[in-house]
A and B are shown apart, each in its own frame.
Chain A
């Protein structure tokens, strides 16, 4: 398959209700052809449900799903041409690796000799050539996962779905496995959707991240923009670490400034902020906040160290301020601050993340 064969996937007003539970509520998404999109959100927010709707294993309560120019809403899972890697691998325990991977080819009545060959190619792709005769219980978790990936890809589906594929794998392997998956996805050019609740994984593997919360899309965009321009406090909190504090946007001569507690921080002219002045929220990521023993300008937030924890290269501090408890880090080779010491938190105005007040 060439990358030009990649298809776009479109969800139009898709909802899924389980009795009274609205697992998904009026979802609209477009997945660009050939990209890897991550669905990110806390447990129970509806990620798996969304994936199952796309696969056809679950049928939407309302709305439409399109694969390219084809409306697949009523198509059964068997006919949708979708490959899926399950969280539990779902390898057939009574079949060898070879028969697991070749299962779908057998269903489609491909020549046995050709099946052997394609299975070998698929296994080579995941570095498992030679494991053909093993049974799943004779493989490690990571190997089982790679067999599952080979099985999902051997039929060259239109769409590849991954449901938290690495959550059962130990953390050291996880990093290299996610890179492998990303590489395979890129070279195959299959439009892929990857579900995870691990934000680091999401940022690392995807072209696009969609943050879901309680059945609704919170924000969609490339990893960088989600990190630097979260539109809601939820996204700011969920992606990376963040202190979200209440603040006010005020007119300040020709420009605008932000009032945090009793600190006023003037904003640079070119900074994008909401048009209306009034209450807003500010996300302060730990790396944006610098602790200093004295205030070098009027734009620092005053506070008292309430807790500190030595973490090796860095020390984590909790600082009690007028706008609440803020947390940040400082390099450990720096000067250490004592408990109850008065400190000043400096913030670079250009880096401030302004979140519009919730409607």
Chain B
């Protein structure tokens, strides 16, 4: 028997129920911001403004609608402490805050001013009270934390996905004088050879998709099924291309195969005009070849950098194949080869389709390699960039091309989701070695060993060339060893050379990674756990986040955040947000696959123990999700450090990041400096990855989590 004193511990208030005090805290936040922070955006940012500019930007210094803000906020206090029934109070909050947010945006748009920090804080406070309001009405069954999370996610998706994308549509469909011009799109795209660009993009995407799938499959089969030692090398080395900025692979290809690359040099040395072996009368037959520029180069670079992704996906899939099915086939006297063809491969067919489609999307979205290696071979992503870069500033063309790329990518993504279904969220955690797996057929294993050896030698040569490239005077012309490049980058103080951009990259990624992981996991939680009116909106937003190519984000953000009411271009904030959005699929995917393995009854058990949803998430879900969160954060960090496509549109002199700095040095012909920086970046990432591996070792939770 339990003591009767237990009677008085039953919950008197709903943990999800908000007290007036919560409202007061939000109001105080809004109030404080209003009095002390700039209501209007400062021309040169918060830290570079003069005191006069700062004062002038405060909301209460002006004589407009903003003066009513404190009154508006203060009115919440009597409402919060009044005796209005909860449901009606909810309606009051909801409508009152909606009106407030609407008025603020209306005022900024109307007066063509840009929002400052305090306006953002006030909007946030109002949005929070709005969430409390709808939860009191009954949204999410009165759970104000979940309501807040949903409102926050919808708000983020609206502002940073939908709004920018509509800006692209606006650019394409509305003519300069502001009238609706539906045919402008066709005029824009027929003004140049768009069909060739689209064809190039698709041809490349399909070739790369098919090749990376095939190679990924070879690697995966080898890593999981081979009996050689080499398989361990595959299991470790696949990480290299993932931590390398994609265009660095392209650069290394130039070092090896470019016009002044090692291969051409060697050929010229042997067969050139003054070479060793010139057959009589054949002088001049051999010339330096630029075959690496164009399709061949981009194809090679993308194949090299995207195969590991396909490998991860497929090896995860292969290691989940139940060995008993294959054993069944073997006991029926089918050979290993027949078993592989008739049992194993059909079982992982969804994974193969998935790898192909993902490879296609990644190829079409890749920007760095076509930029470095493109030559005459135009693809959508670089065409978009060149429409804006330099003095072109043809936003109509960029937007039209961006729309085409977005739709191509959306179509492939939707096919992938429909066709392959939920398996697109298959855990990409690498390999769990199962017990009695069927080894590869002997001949096949020998063939693969040769193939993989050649591959590894090539990759080794590429990375070695990057590393050495940073230490020679002028690759292709003067191979004298020197540390001049590294000296230029790192030895002239921390405010010149490579330091500012490296600091920016590290700093932004460091902020973006936890932020994006948090939101990603939150979205995953909402998608896997919550049903409500309007969830389709979040679903669609998520699809866009997954499918939208970086260059399209870049164009969209320039269009959206260069003008009032939200002016962010040139700030660090926009770069952090861009990195966060680009890395968000990592958190969402990780969160979804982890959450789908945690039985909902754990959360329900916590709810029935009187814990609110916030407490449940904190005490039950987060500890179990910890390994996922750590690895997502690490991966998001790496992606933020290596991303190019979107940030190249948004980085300015003051907010240059490592990748954009390297590309700018490539463009100005300083290959030595560029590869020197590239090798330092790769080395940094490698150390970072190893550190994470060491410190985040397997926790006891991972093996325990019960599946449904």
A residues near B (Cβ < 8 Å) are: 1-2, 5, 55, 57, 59, 76-79, 81-84, 86-88, 90-94, 103-105, 107-108, 110, 118, 121-122, 125, 135-137, 151-156, 187-188
Contacts and interface: CB of A to CB of B under 8 A. Distances in A.
B700 A154 contact: no
A105 B16 CA distance: 17
B191 to A, nearest CB: 50
Interface in B637-678: none
B694 interface: no
Contacts of B481: none
B610 A78 contact: yes
Interface stretch (B5-13, B93-101, B265-273, B541-549): B5-13
Contacts of A83: 608
A107 B608 contact: no
A154 B608 CA distance: 12
Contact of B142 (A76, A105, A107, A118): A76
Contact of A155 (B606, B610, B624): B610
A122 B6 CA distance: 12
Interface centre among B143, B607, B701, B708 (most CB of A within 10 A): B607
Contacts of A81: 10-11
A108 B608 CA distance: 12
Nearest to B598: A93
A89 B317 CA distance: 30
Given A76-B14, A79-B14, A90-B599, A104 B704 contact: no
Contacts of A122: 2
A77 B706 CA distance: 23
A107 B615 contact: yes
A156 B2 contact: yes
A173 to B, nearest CB: 20
Contacts of B15: 78, 107
Given A86-B604, A108-B10, 8 more contacts: A55-B608, A76-B607, A79-B14, A93-B624, A103-B606, A104-B609, A136-B704, A156-B7
B11 A78 contact: yes
B101 to A, nearest CB: 28
25 contacts: A1-B7, A76-B14, A76-B141, A76-B142, A76-B143, A77-B607, A78-B11, A78-B608, A78-B611, A83-B608, A84-B604, A86-B604, A87-B601, A88-B601, A90-B605, A92-B606, A94-B624, A103-B606, A103-B609, A103-B619, A108-B610, A118-B6, A135-B700, A155-B9, A156-B9
A155 B2 CA distance: 9
B494 interface: no
A108 B604 contact: no
Contacts of B615: 107
A82 B624 CA distance: 25
Contacts of A153: 2
A297 to B, nearest CB: 57
A114 to B, nearest CB: 9
A110 B609 CA distance: 13
Interface centre among B605, B611, B615 (most CB of A within 10 A): B605
B67 interface: no
Contacts of B14: 76, 78-79
B602 interface: yes
Given A78-B611, A86-B604, A93 B16 contact: no
A57 B602 CA distance: 12
A219 to B, nearest CB: 30
B704 A118 contact: no
Interface string B690-708: 0000000000110111101
A137 B3 CA distance: 30
Nearest to B608: A84
B244 to A, nearest CB: 36
Contact of A76 (B16, B704, B705): B16
Interface centre among B143, B610, B704 (most CB of A within 10 A): B610
Nearest to A57: B604
Given A90-B602, A94-B701, A188-B1, A78 B6 contact: no
B4 interface: yes
B612 interface: yes
A78 B16 contact: yes
Contacts of A110: 9
Contact of A88 (B16, B599, B623): B599
Interface string B132-148: 00000000011100000
B153 interface: no
A103 B701 contact: no
A59 B138 CA distance: 12
Interface string B586-622: 0000000000000101101111111110010001100
Contacts of A187: 1
Interface string B5-29: 0110111001110000000000000
Given A81-B11, A86-B604, A94-B704, A151 B6 contact: no
Contacts of B3: 118, 121
A34 to B, nearest CB: 14
A89 to B, nearest CB: 8
Contacts of A103: 606, 609, 611, 619
Contact of B2 (A76, A84, A91, A121): A121
A187 to B, nearest CB: 6
B631 to A, nearest CB: 17
A110 B5 CA distance: 11
Contacts of B605: 84, 86, 90-92, 151
Interface in B5-58: 6-7, 9-11, 14-16
A135 B611 CA distance: 21
Contacts of B706: 88, 93
Contacts of A137: 703-704
A91 B601 CA distance: 9
A93 B9 CA distance: 25
B607 A92 contact: no
Nearest to A189: B1
Contact of A188 (B2, B16, B611, B619): B2
Contacts of A91: 605
A104 B610 contact: yes
Interface centre among B6, B606, B624 (most CB of A within 10 A): B6
Contacts of A78: 11, 14-16, 607-608, 610-612
